[in-house]
Structure 1
Amino acid sequence: MTIDVPQEILDALTDVDMPRLPTEPGPSDVVRLAGVEAPIYRAGCVVVGSGAAGLRAAVEMKRRGDDVVIVSQSAWGGTSACSGSDKQTLHTANTADQGDNYKAMARAIRSGGAMDEDTAYVEAVGSSRMMASLQFLGLPLPQDPLGGTLRYQTDHDEVGRATSCGPRTSRLMVKVLAEEAIRLGVPFYNQTTAVKILNEGDGADRHVVGIIAMRATDRTQDNPLGIALFVGGVIVLAAGGPGELYRDSVYPNGCFGSLGLALEAGVELVNLTESQFGIGTRREGFPWNLSGTYVQAIPHIYSLDSDGAERHFLAEYYRSTQELASNIFRKGYQWPFHATRMLDFGSSLVDLAISSETAAGRRVFMDFNRNPLSVPGDLPFSLERLDEDVREYLGKAGADQDMPIDRLKHMNPLAIELYRRYKIDIAEEPLEFAVNNQHMNGGIMVDTWGRSSLGGCYAVGEAAGTHGVTRPGGAALNAGQVFGTRAAEHISASGKAKRSAAEHITDVAEAGIADLLAVLRTESPLTVKSIRSQVQARMSDKAGIICDQESVGRALIEARKLNAEIHANGIAYGRAAEAVRGVQWRHMALASEAVLSALDFFIRNGGGSRGARAICDAEGESLPLARSGPLQDYRFRKEREAHRKEQIVVRLDGDEIRLSTRPNRMLDESAKSFFERDWPAWLTGRIYDLGADK
């Protein structure tokens, strides 16, 4: 049985138009600093980033009467508006049959290790409120006839806590939050790139005083690079993850995040070893994760060599057609690569095989008009010959159609419509794809209110390093909403953003602009193109899903050398737009060294395979097997239990990256609240721990 959804419904859930931005307020004044006539914009709080998490923070602050503005490199151009997967998910706790109580949900969120237990509980307990408020704003989450929210199982989720309104869920979230921000009168400064955090004070008294940005609209003869000052004592970093860090990436183009920006300001980062990699289409076309029903439809996967000869390469890894097809299906809810799933002929052998094919120079495709070919000597593909969990799922879904494209059309017609919008008809032609970097689980170290180690600086969304090693698929969307709200509540309670900042920060701003201009040179052997090529190739080739101690160590030496060269020679630029990119690639080179430093530290201290990467070692305890025999080149270390209980902290001290570890924050699950005892802490604001603010 195939359910036909009217085209107008498919169109409405696929073509999501974003609102027009309001007119930008002008600067409060102009000041001459470091030879530049720089405009000054004042605010109580500056939110950097216009994705779902940043918009949530701005909306919640504005509702509480705070003076807040949003600066964005490209409004509606980030990952939550432009990227995603077959079914982006928003996590919510539910009744016992699908979902459960908040403590159980928190245990699932933190189950991968290296995650603070209190953070996991904050995300879990805040999830219902986030879902309800998004529905109030107009997010069309699906319901059953009695009003229950429809749910399904996703990766690292054994219960079924996820829900979705199709592949554009996160874009729809951005849309409804953006409309609310505009309705509330939040000012937006678009085409505005934050390039330096300004801070004053020493030690524990160090705090934010503003941001230097570069804006095309502020370019003048006396300010050719469009340098602008945003003065404010509070900032929220919500600029997403470092998508440009990898050559093989499913991020939209131009996603730089704020890790380098934060490092440069002395902000501590955490868990930079932890990312997510999985199959998806490349950025050169339309970047999208191929999880969920794309693979649950069980298409044929093959590669082409340079002569155009087709290779049924997965047959070299799996022992039977049933095993091969079942593991293609499992990529739907086991989407991210995980080293342990290379064992026992698991689903991550699919990732390994695809990665090996592309490394050998072959192109890999997914064909929805063919069922998987049989493993030589075995029976052909049949829906009746699949592993029990796969047969049960497809049976409940009613996906008994003969061809993958028909099964996909039945289970998720939006998946087909989405690619058609980008001139790719997967109903007619095979889809080229690869294993790509998709998400940074680490980032800026924050507490349960989103506070970083720098006074007045908060981080939310993918900029915040809250996720640990693994997380249920789509939980990042929920985390961004929860912490966007938490940060806003804390900022409002502090009273620091109730009115525009009036401080004069001439000295620190002049020093910051001078430092910025010193990096940008009209002549330098280093160009944006050369830095990008070095960083992306090094990260994809040496810090992808397959790593080893020697290769990571060499890559770190090369990354340090590049940053020393940038420090000595600066970065060449021609046009003003290239100057902006030059600063961003300075930040990416710094972020690359930080990631490689943390990864090298982890491996040299006995770190094993977990989450994103297999740490290969000839003495490793784990050996993946394939139909063709043992995969000795991919023998890997097991994860050490002690490393699940701690996190690696990274900070920049002068020009040197310092590394340390800290234990995960714990949660006493036996502790119980008591209304009369605990209500005064809420009434008086003691819950916000404002005395700990720097």
Structure 2
Amino acid sequence: MKEEMVQLAGQTVKVVTVQTAVVGSGAAGLNAASRLFSFGRRDLTLVTEGMNCGTSRNTGSDKQTYYKMTLAGEEADSVQAMAETLFSGGCVDGEHALAEAASSVRCFLRLVELGVPFPDGPYGEYVGYRTDHDLRRRATSAGPLTSKLMTEALEREVLEKGIPILDGYQAVRILTIGGQAAGLLCLNCKNPQSAKSRWLLVNCRSLVWATGGPAGMYLDSVYPAGHWGSTGAALEAGAAGQNLTEWQFGLASVSPRWNVSGTYMQALPRFLSTAPDGSDPREFLLDYFGDPASMCNHIFRKGYEWPFDVTKVRCGSSILDVLVFLETKRKGRRVVLDFLENPGGGELDAAALEPQAREYLTAAGACFGRPIDRLLQMNRPAVDFYRSRGVDLTKEPLEIALCAQHNNGGLKVNSWWETTLPGLFAVGEAAGTHGVTRPGGSALNAGQVGSLRAARYIAAKRTQPPMSATAFLNAVSSQVEALLTTPVDQDAESIRGQVANAQRRMSEAGGPFRRETGMAAALKEAQAELAQWGRSPVLPGELSLSFRYRDLLLSQQAYLFAMLSYLKNGGKSRGSALYHDPQGTLPTGLSEEFRHSLAEKGSEAIQEVRLTKEGPCALVRPRRPIPQREDFFENVWRSFRETGNVDGL
């Protein structure tokens, strides 16, 4: 890696020349960097806004799930069976399902060897449990902080290998030369006020995009506050998006931001609605269910059916998401989980629970007492987590809301996780390898597998050295000059209100409940704000936020267009999205805004979206099937000896 200082557009700019750059310091980005080093790539660097930022390091749930092929017990499993489960989520390409299944054990056991404490039995079996959208016990967990533990273990390995880290730099634009990714423009987000150290240019041949999903788009979000995402930059550079319509929403605590899934629900807490000041507590679910038994059974099922699922609104656990949404967004009240009293009051009536709930609680030794007693019995670390964040569930309620949690779509990638922009690879949540639904924990596996495959391909095939800094600057100067001269003024107005308004717009129009008129109006507003970006000066301390706002608007333009195009072309409700349909069915007890029609199960059509000079455009294509592959050992071995089985499939 070489560094030099240059003058460009009247600005002092540091230029780093390196063969490969990884952007992002979450579990996928760190794994990409480590794997590249292991495969022999030495001229590389990792670029991050902050090593302690991001979703992997700062998120979790009751027992955060890692999804892999079964490694215990008598239950039969195979690569093909796991691939078929992933493929069955709808809008999934077969090569991604197969790759994520085939390398799941390799990636999982590597994490074990790095020190992530996944539990095994006395004979070394890695026992598992069922998670949502899963038929086998493939799920495992290292506790509420599984992804944090993964990130810490991978970071230790990156540091031990001496991989250079450019910490405190915010990637604001991907630079291209001749239709290929060629580098980055970064802002020094730790010191944006200093004109002498404000900018960094990265000149590279290969770029791994591990920036997570575009979390900054939404106001109602369970993403950690330090996670914004940079999908807009990749879309602007020419990479295509895929399945951008498909998000995952679910119930989460507001402060701290955390999923209230699994045992938080299986402990059967009370759902209380209060006035904004906390007065007038009401057990509002009883208004809908009528009797405590039905209410408790729905709460229990919410534990293993945590994501909002439109197929479970009419007669399933996702009616809870709708009812919480109505209390908070339509009635302006607050909703809290109370673990100090049983739903409906009094003692727990175990006999009234459905068999699955009763048997589960009995097997866990938790069919007694109050919700907090059951939660402590089943999962004490889940209580400890909130206590460490200043919320003591043994003494106080927990405020919740319906929030954006994960983007199942993202950037379109091939079987080696390279995007449609040559030289740019997307891994982790930035890559759109998931479909309409996905098994819980499959995202952690996908991030490890995708970064493994991207690193393997880059190390084997993208071996050309970077161009000279002079040639690079001559080729990209026109792409960066306008951004380098973004007006900064100490007397400028704060843009925080604009950012919050844009996030609120996305939550209202592109959240779990969508209407054509709302999406169209939101898209128009986002495009108008994007056209005005950069015309007014910003505060020096808000330059970083200003560029996040720009990326947010680029992302909103593509995502809202994708949702609107999907609906206009006959799309129906599916996954975590309910599209209003005046000709559809109205679930019992709900208002007109929830009238909808369900899409056919297992949709094969995949939507792709690109941002062009003329505006966003979309196309729909069939999903690709699971590949039929050679499985005769001598032939595979010969191919491996000759080519390493790394090619452009």
TM over 0.5: yes
CA contact (8 A) 1:522 1:574 kept: yes
CA contact (8 A) 1:526 1:570 kept: no
Name the SS of the counterpart of 1:70 in structure 2. Answer: strand
| Deviation of 1:99 (Å) | 6.6
The residue number in structure 1 matching 2:21 is 46
Amino acid of the structure 2 residue aligned with 1:321: P
| Deviation of 1:226 (Å) | 1.1
- 1:227-284 CA-partner distances (Å, limit 9, x unpaired): 11111110000011111111110111132212111011111111110111101112xx
- 1:484-519 CA-partner distances (Å, limit 9, x unpaired): 10100000111427x665453112332232131355
Amino acid of the structure 2 residue aligned with 1:138: G
The residue number in structure 2 matching 1:661 is 620
Matched, 1:651 2:621: no
Matched, 1:251 2:223: yes
How many angstroms apart in 1 are the aligned matches of 2:381 and 2:164?
Answer: 34
CA contact (8 A) 1:90 1:162 kept: yes
CA contact (8 A) 1:598 1:650 kept: yes
How many angstroms apart in 2 are the aligned matches of 1:587 and 1:524?
Answer: 24
Amino acid of the structure 1 residue aligned with 2:619: S
Evaluate the alpha carbon distance shift between residue 540 and residue 525 of structure 1 in structure 2; reply closer, same or farther with a 3 A threshold: farther
- Equivalent position to 2:641, from 680, 683, 692: 683
The residue number in structure 2 matching 1:70 is 46
- 1:91-114 CA-partner distances (Å, limit 9, x unpaired): 121257457212121222222201
The residue number in structure 1 matching 2:333 is 362
- 1:140-170 CA-partner distances (Å, limit 9, x unpaired): 1001111111212222223221100100110
How many angstroms apart in 2 are the aligned matches of 1:630 and 1:505?
Answer: 59
The residue number in structure 2 matching 1:340 is 311
Matched, 1:29 2:4: yes
Evaluate the alpha carbon distance shift between residue 584 and residue 408 of structure 1 in structure 2; reply closer, same or farther with a 3 A threshold: same
Name the SS of the counterpart of 1:619 in structure 2. Answer: coil
How many angstroms apart in 1 are the aligned matches of 2:78 and 2:568?
Answer: 39
| Deviation of 1:470 (Å) | 0.9
How many angstroms apart in 2 are the aligned matches of 1:613 and 1:163?
Answer: 28
Evaluate the alpha carbon distance shift between residue 41 and residue 544 of structure 1 in structure 2; reply closer, same or farther with a 3 A threshold: same
- 1:304-341 CA-partner distances (Å, limit 9, x unpaired): 02471112211122243222111111111111001110
| Deviation of 1:443 (Å) | 0.8
Deviates more, 1:170-179 or 1:146-155: 146-155
- Equivalent position to 1:303, from 269, 273, 286: 273
How many angstroms apart in 2 are the aligned matches of 1:210 and 1:630?
Answer: 51
How many angstroms apart in 2 are the aligned matches of 1:441 and 1:213?
Answer: 27
Give matches, 1:108-507, under 5 Å: 108-201=85-178, 206-216=179-189, 223-224=195-196, 226-282=198-254, 285-306=255-276, 308-344=279-315, 346-359=316-329, 360-373=331-344, 381-496=348-463, 502=468, 504-507=471-474
Amino acid of the structure 1 residue aligned with 2:373: D
| Deviation of 1:380 (Å) | 7.2
Count, aligned residues: 644
The residue number in structure 2 matching 1:83 is 59
Name the SS of the counterpart of 1:458 in structure 2. Answer: strand
- Equivalent position to 1:635, from 583, 590, 595: 595
How many angstroms apart in 1 are the aligned matches of 2:134 and 2:288?
Answer: 26
| Deviation of 1:684 (Å) | 2.5
Name the SS of the counterpart of 2:22 in structure 1. Answer: strand
The residue number in structure 2 matching 1:17 is none
CA contact (8 A) 2:192 2:544 kept: no
Evaluate the alpha carbon distance shift between residue 219 and residue 536 of structure 1 in structure 2; reply closer, same or farther with a 3 A threshold: closer
Name the SS of the counterpart of 2:547 in structure 1. Answer: helix
How many angstroms apart in 2 are the aligned matches of 1:103 and 1:243?
Answer: 33
- Equivalent position to 1:548, from 481, 490, 515: 515
Name the SS of the counterpart of 1:425 in structure 2. Answer: coil
The residue number in structure 2 matching 1:589 is 553
How many angstroms apart in 2 are the aligned matches of 1:99 and 1:409?
Answer: 33
CA contact (8 A) 2:494 2:539 kept: no
Deviates more, 1:677-686 or 1:478-487: 677-686
Deviates more, 1:232-241 or 1:393-402: 393-402
CA contact (8 A) 1:617 1:637 kept: yes
Name the SS of the counterpart of 2:351 in structure 1. Answer: coil
Give matches, 1:56-67, under 5 Å: 56-66=31-41, 67=43
Amino acid of the structure 1 residue aligned with 2:543: A
CA contact (8 A) 1:329 1:390 kept: yes
How many angstroms apart in 2 are the aligned matches of 1:526 and 1:601?
Answer: 36
Name the SS of the counterpart of 1:644 in structure 2. Answer: coil
Evaluate the alpha carbon distance shift between residue 280 and residue 630 of structure 1 in structure 2; reply closer, same or farther with a 3 A threshold: closer
- Equivalent position to 2:544, from 569, 580, 586: 580
Evaluate the alpha carbon distance shift between residue 266 and residue 668 of structure 1 in structure 2; reply closer, same or farther with a 3 A threshold: closer
Identity of aligned residues (%): 37
- 1:423-460 CA-partner distances (Å, limit 9, x unpaired): 11011111111111111111110011110011111000
Deviates more, 1:329-338 or 1:250-259: 250-259
How many angstroms apart in 2 are the aligned matches of 1:370 and 1:224?
Answer: 59
- Equivalent position to 2:569, from 602, 605, 609: 605
Evaluate the alpha carbon distance shift between residue 689 and residue 152 of structure 1 in structure 2; reply closer, same or farther with a 3 A threshold: same
TM-score (norm 2): 0.95
How many angstroms apart in 2 are the aligned matches of 1:553 and 1:475?
Answer: 33
CA contact (8 A) 2:183 2:205 kept: yes
Amino acid of the structure 1 residue aligned with 2:35: E
| Deviation of 1:212 (Å) | 1.0
Name the SS of the counterpart of 1:230 in structure 2. Answer: strand
Unaligned 5+ segments in structure 2 are none
| Deviation of 1:523 (Å) | 9.4
Name the SS of the counterpart of 1:476 in structure 2. Answer: helix
